[in-house]
Amino acid sequence: GNSVTQMEGPVTLSEEAFLTINCTYTATGYPSLFWYVQYPGEGLQLLLKATKADDKGSNKGFEATYRKETTSFHLEKGSVQVSDSAVYFCALIFYGNNRLAFGKGNQVVVIP
């Protein structure tokens, strides 16, 4: 079936450091890909998305590129802030299929 795999474990880094969170997927065909963010005490909100191969989604300084050849959608930010501390989820959905599949999420803690 369709699934999303995120790198294990929380991520702790200093302010202004470079952030990468890995996401790979298993799917038959070409899904749309998403990154969601969950700030403390809140529900999930969409951070960025990409709907076809080589698309780059971007928002709030975050970027992710849809790589068909490696079935990946890694999230990056060049200089993180304390306010980026949150849980980040990678997700996919297929056109015509209503079901959204999520990775397990990564807790990101940014230290001043």
Partner 1 sequence: DVKVTQSSRYLVKRTGEKVFLECVQDMDHENMFWYRQDPGLGLRLIYFSYDVKMKEKGDIPEGYSVSREKKERFSLILESASTNQTSMYLCASSGQARPNTEAFFGQGTRLTVV
Judged by DSSP in three states, 15 sits in coil
37 part of the interface to partner 1, by CB under 8 A: no
Query: Measured from the CB of residue 69, what is the shortest distance to partner 1 in angstroms?
Result: 20
d(CA 42, CA 97): 27
Q: Considering only residues 25, 49, 62, 75, which one is a binding residue for partner 1 as defined by CB under 8 A?
A: 49
105 part of the interface to partner 1, by CB under 8 A: yes
Q: What is the number of alpha carbons within 13 Å of residue 42 lying toward its C-beta?
A: 12
Residues that bind partner 1 (CB under 8 A): 32, 34, 36, 41-46, 49, 51-52, 89, 91, 93-100, 102-105
